[in-house]
Structure 1
Amino acid sequence: MTESNGSTPQQQIGSMPDWEKRFRAPRVSLPDWAEDAPHRSLFVSNATGTYELYAWDRVTGEQRQATDRANGTTDGVLSPDGEWIWWFDDKDGDEFGVWRRQPFLGGPDEEAAPGLDPSYPAGLAIGRDGVTAVVGRSTDEDGSTIHLVRRGAAPVEIYRHRESAGVGDLSHDGSLIAVEHTEHGDAMHSALRVIRPDGTTVAELDDTKGGTIELGLEVLGFAPVVGDTRLLIGHQRRGRWEPLVWDVASGEETDLGLADQLEGDLSAEWYPDGSALLVVHSFEARSELWRYELSTRRLERVETPRGTVSGASARPDGSVEYLWSSAAEPPVVRSTTGEVVLDPPGLTCPGSVPVEDVWVDGPGGRVHALVQRPAGVTGPYPTIFEIHGGPTWHDSDSFAAGPAAWLDHGYAVIRINYRGSTGYGRAWTDALKHRVGLIELEDIAAVREWAVSTGFADPDRLVLSGGSWGGYLTLLGLGTQPDLWSIGIAAVPVADYVTAYHDEMEALKAMDRTLLGGTPEEVPERFAASSPLTYVDAVKAPVYISAGVNDPRCPIRQIDNYVDRLVARSAVHEVYRYDAGHGSLVVDERIKQIRLELAFAARHLGVDA
């Protein structure tokens, strides 16, 4: 593997603080492997100091860096025959571009789908024949489209709709294509359609019932057997995610009976022979693995340590590879054979402190918070409330270099799975509609009250912080709860909701229409109530904002509008703009951002940077 910069001189490593080592230490993703050539794998690593794609031949052991771009590359897929690496080529992180491909063994890149204009990606499935692919695209002008692409022929459009949609999967023999769509207008809950390569419909499954019942479906994958018409899907019919098998030819649905055995959300993928499922069980910010035999309906635990499994894959020999970490222990790719699958050379990543679970009564029910205390320090602590993005995501007992840096500087870290977070049932995730942002902040305020009233947190040194949706909640919280927070640190935030809506990528416009019940012109009062710009004149705390100038999700113009209002009233603030999109894949840039955030907090809170 190429050495990182990362290949830092030994004397520099010796004097480097642990928080910086955590960012510089080489990381690897869970390797993807080619269906018909399982010895060929593709993974992501930061070994050069920028996250890029790597090809790995498991027989020879050779690892080759496949992409090399200034702002990094993480979106890549191996063709089933293992001959080609497909990767998405955008401009400086703007997520708008084209698919390219290169030979697995190395060679020049070429356009993978000639004839398709640049777009936002909306799913990709590559056929086992080596010449066919199904490419999902999204643009403001065309809405969502899906094209059948065959080498040597012009792309053929087989699906189009104004609402968001994407490619779910291609069947093993290439005769069926699963599509996730939101034609009913609810971008939070997809319906499914299975079509043939000519675009004609084979089967439909829609749990939204015209949008009146908020239930969603997701594609988990076709059975890996030629001629098999079973499609593994996820559903929410019992108030949480769980899998079932849908035979798209007969219409038969097979309930797996897992709901009575495991609490929390369940996802799954096929074992390579199609006889069993690898089930991922997520519950209360942790996850574990199970094997489910389809013939006997037997559920058997796959042993993993307590923490979070961020990805897992069943190999042809029946072993399972998985990416695991905990808040205290850095990520590692392990196998049920007992081996460490990938162990990148170079700097070893230091660990951090374990997480504690706290449950707080909130206005919408019990709120789960993950709490970490700095080592060797007694409370009340200066405390950073690190708010996750999404909003439909969750914090977990997993390793994160950013929070660990704050812990090293004497801060306690609190992460909150507010209403809107996943992993606590459908009602919890769907609760934030219409009063967007304000509902999440009620839960955050309840956890803040617990932290202060118990003497855990120092009320005069409280940091509200987050990235993306977490950055949005930070700015909204500083304006709607101005007396609760000492400073705010917002990365790539929504700051002016109306302008953000008009400038963002089309898929996010659809999500905002779902969350708020319409466009800014249709429900102006809801956009105003949920926009940080509405409350900017009430902000008392110093504000730090960082933003990517090419960000298609939280575009720069709406951030500039918010900053202009801070400037107009001489509010204490700092702004850092960098040349990337929705975050950076460059290690040096990420370290710079953390260093600036720590210094900002130190100046205003009197904590050593």
Structure 2
Amino acid sequence: MRRLALFAALLVAAPAWAADGDLDRSVAAIARIGSAGSPSFSPDGTRIAFVSNRSGSPQVWVMPAAGGDAKQITTLTDPVQSVHWSPTNDDLAIDVAPGGGLNVQIYVLKPDGSALRRLTPGGQENNSLAGWTKDGRFLRAGSNQRDPAAFDALLLDPRTGTSKAIVAKAGNNGVLDVSMDGKYAVVTRLISRGDNNLYLVDMKSGAETLLTPHEGTGSFYWGQFSPDGNRVYVSTNGGRDRIAFGYVELDKSHKPGPMKIVASRDDAEGDGAILDRQGKRAALLWNVAGRSELSFLDTATGKVSPAPKLPADVTYTLRFSKDGSRLAVVATGSAITTDIHVLDIASGTFTRLTNSPHDGVDLASFVEPTLVTYKAHDGLDLSGWLTRPRGVTGPGPVVFSFHGGPEGQSRPGLSDVTQALVARGISVFAPNVRGSTGFGKKFMNLDNGALRVNSVRDIKASVDHLVATGVAQPGRLGIVGGSYGGYMVMAGVTEYPDMFAAGANLFGIVNFATFFKHTQPWMAAISKVEYGDPDKEAAMLASLSPIHKLDRIKTPLIVLHGANDTNVPVIEAEQIVASLKGRNVPVEYVLFPDEGHGWRKMPNRVKSTVSIVQFFDRYLNGKPPG
């Protein structure tokens, strides 16, 4: 869930003299720029599989790991989320999202695209795919088929399609790793957002041993065995504020010792890690106020050393080759397409493996954002990324762009909406209000439950700062966001009805009561600490729901939603549109019948981006659609 940012497309800054029609065509061209991710090496390291949307929908491609021509091997109607190459043979495992929704299904196929078989039932159940066991015998998977309010941790047999439940109980359970001898598993169990535990599970008896005892909330994302099975490497903010990296030693009876921290930073949060198959080296990814840095841990000495500079500001997805000689990453930046780069560890050299198409788009014309820091109403330190049109110095129109989550973060990656608006002379500011990740556990929990009112107040603090510093011009301000960012849009236009001249709400929550009633049961179960318990705190949730304040709205809105969204069901959008139409407040509604929680298909991305940019151009610049 963590990792997929909204608006990760791209856009050219068209010359100021271009006609509106030309600009609209530029917006569409940029929204069509491709991206690549989910790299996975073949066992012998000669090939790599990945997911790319260059054909118009995310599908699986295979190419030589040394570079060369890539071949598309799937042409499915539905988007592919990830691909995992077996560590022992020529089997690929993929997960596919029917209609863009959450009833994800798992398939296996060969690297030439043949022998495609679905392993999961194919119904409305939700499935997840984490990868293969080290011996290539099973897939690490999850499913809510037994209980819609929970995920069971499973091992899925790719030959027969049969599954074995490793853990079948309350919570969101998943298999992070299985020991080399197949006797033990590391299982994660999420009970509420921002709080999980890792367990050592005896594969024969099913007995669980807690690996991560902690007081208060704690997040543990990484859980990987050393080759001998005597150590489990973890990431942790249990008992500390920022995520660090460490390990738990297991004695001869597999009783865990205390956690030992081996890498931590006061200026950064751990953001991902992977241990090579030999157990000699771990790659550690850090989030430094939104930008990525990489380091390596020598497991024998415990020494942490800096890795070569990453190829772009924002990097995610770390994958070692089987022999440990290469590391594949996915990297992106405000002027760099999202692509796969491979580090040769011996030489310290990164090589760009994929080059996603950006036909007719000069990436060098993109505008780089700058980091802005400021204070909230209560003195809390806040920050955000400001992208301004080149040459603009005085006050002007600004769109405030809020990330989803709420456990998310605005980072300096590619954004088609941002660059398109900048091309129209509109600045974009992407704040990280309280509740955002990347700044420590305390900061992330400052918006839980009734504290959400302070996160909403951060909207005003963000606007006030840019007005006070001469960037934002009152009367020409917009607000945009998706998912939880869509909630912030609706909170902004209801709590501050005179502040914004236009707003764009993408699949956002408007009514916590209907959200909890209609979202997936497992999503509702883990969201009660973050938002509030609908059975015990209904009055508080009602006070935080913009649906009860729609009569305050003066701001023209565009509402965009996917018909197959089971995370934030489409009823959230329908309530807004019906209310505003009844009050004659300008509202546009864009419904995508073949999408879920966000847009994966290229034509829908284009339609969304063009519609949003035209909308803000009309209300902030006074221009009709081009």
The verdict on a shared fold, with TM-score over 0.5 as the criterion, is yes
1:532 and 2:540 correspond: no
Corresponding position of 1:218: 221
Corresponding position of 2:535: 521
Corresponding position of 1:127: 133
**Preserved CA contact (<8 Å) 1:193 1:201:** no
| Counterpart code for 1:172 | M
Of 461, 474, 478, which residue of structure 1 is paired with 2:493? 478
Corresponding position of 2:351: 339
Corresponding position of 2:14: none
**Preserved CA contact (<8 Å) 2:268 2:289:** no
**Can you give the 5+ residue segments of structure 1 that lack an aligned partner in the other structure?**
1-13
Corresponding position of 2:375: 361
Corresponding position of 1:285: 290
**Preserved CA contact (<8 Å) 1:123 1:168:** no
1:105 and 2:112 correspond: yes
**Preserved CA contact (<8 Å) 1:19 1:401:** yes
Of 324, 340, 358, which residue of structure 1 is paired with 2:331? 324
TM-score under structure 2 length normalisation = 0.87
Of 153, 170, 179, which residue of structure 2 is paired with 1:171? 179
Corresponding position of 2:15: none
Corresponding position of 2:439: 424
The CA RMSD measured in Å over matched residues stands at 2.7
Corresponding position of 1:462: 477
Shift of the alpha carbon at 1:416? 0.6
Corresponding position of 2:152: 145
What does residue range 397-436 of structure 1 map to in structure 2 within 5 Å? Answer: 397-435=412-450
**Preserved CA contact (<8 Å) 2:38 2:82:** no
* Cα distance change, pair 264–59 in 1 and its aligned pair in 2 (3 A): closer
SS of 1:558 mapped into structure 2: helix
Of 95, 101, 110, which residue of structure 2 is paired with 1:94? 101
**Preserved CA contact (<8 Å) 2:316 2:330:** yes
Shift of the alpha carbon at 1:123? 4.4
Shift of the alpha carbon at 1:557? 1.7
Greater shift after overlay, 502-511 or 313-322? Answer: 313-322
Render the CA deviation track for 1:182-229: whole Å, top value 9, x for unaligned. 3xx4332001112133451252124344xxx12232234233x2x423
Corresponding position of 2:397: 382
Greater shift after overlay, 284-293 or 312-321? Answer: 312-321
Corresponding position of 1:31: 39
1:600 and 2:622 correspond: no
Shift of the alpha carbon at 1:382? 0.8
* Cα distance change, pair 107–263 in 1 and its aligned pair in 2 (3 A): closer
Shift of the alpha carbon at 1:170? 2.4
Shift of the alpha carbon at 1:135? 2.3
* Cα distance change, pair 100–118 in 1 and its aligned pair in 2 (3 A): farther
Corresponding position of 1:197: 203
| Counterpart code for 1:207 | P
| Counterpart code for 2:530 | L
Aligned length: 588
* Cα distance change, pair 229–18 in 1 and its aligned pair in 2 (3 A): farther
Corresponding position of 2:229: 228
Shift of the alpha carbon at 1:435? 2.5
Shift of the alpha carbon at 1:328? 3.6
**Preserved CA contact (<8 Å) 1:319 1:337:** no
* Cα distance change, pair 478–175 in 1 and its aligned pair in 2 (3 A): same
| Counterpart code for 2:218 | L
SS of 1:292 mapped into structure 2: strand
**Preserved CA contact (<8 Å) 2:233 2:247:** yes
* Cα distance change, pair 411–199 in 1 and its aligned pair in 2 (3 A): farther
1:45 and 2:52 correspond: yes
Return the alpha-carbon distance in structure 2 between the equivalents of residues 143 and 491 of structure 1. 27
Corresponding position of 2:245: 243
**Preserved CA contact (<8 Å) 1:195 1:201:** yes
Corresponding position of 1:10: none
SS of 1:190 mapped into structure 2: strand
Return the alpha-carbon distance in structure 1 between the equivalents of residues 500 and 23 of structure 2. 34
* Cα distance change, pair 276–256 in 1 and its aligned pair in 2 (3 A): farther
* Cα distance change, pair 459–72 in 1 and its aligned pair in 2 (3 A): same
Corresponding position of 1:72: 79
Corresponding position of 1:54: 61
Render the CA deviation track for 1:43-99: whole Å, top value 9, x for unaligned. 111211222221234379453323323342223322222422222233211211421
Greater shift after overlay, 197-206 or 426-435? Answer: 197-206
1:490 and 2:496 correspond: no
Return the alpha-carbon distance in structure 1 between the equivalents of residues 82 and 101 of structure 2. 13
Corresponding position of 2:453: 438
Greater shift after overlay, 127-136 or 283-292? Answer: 127-136
Corresponding position of 1:7: none
Return the alpha-carbon distance in structure 2 between the equivalents of residues 420 and 541 of structure 1. 25
Greater shift after overlay, 239-248 or 385-394? Answer: 239-248
Greater shift after overlay, 274-283 or 18-27? Answer: 18-27
Corresponding position of 1:573: 587
SS of 2:536 mapped into structure 1: coil
SS of 1:143 mapped into structure 2: coil
Return the alpha-carbon distance in structure 2 between the equivalents of residues 379 and 557 of structure 1. 41
**Can you give the 5+ residue segments of structure 2 that lack an aligned partner in the other structure?**
1-21
Corresponding position of 1:9: none
| Counterpart code for 2:144 | S
Return the alpha-carbon distance in structure 1 between the equivalents of residues 450 and 361 of structure 2. 41
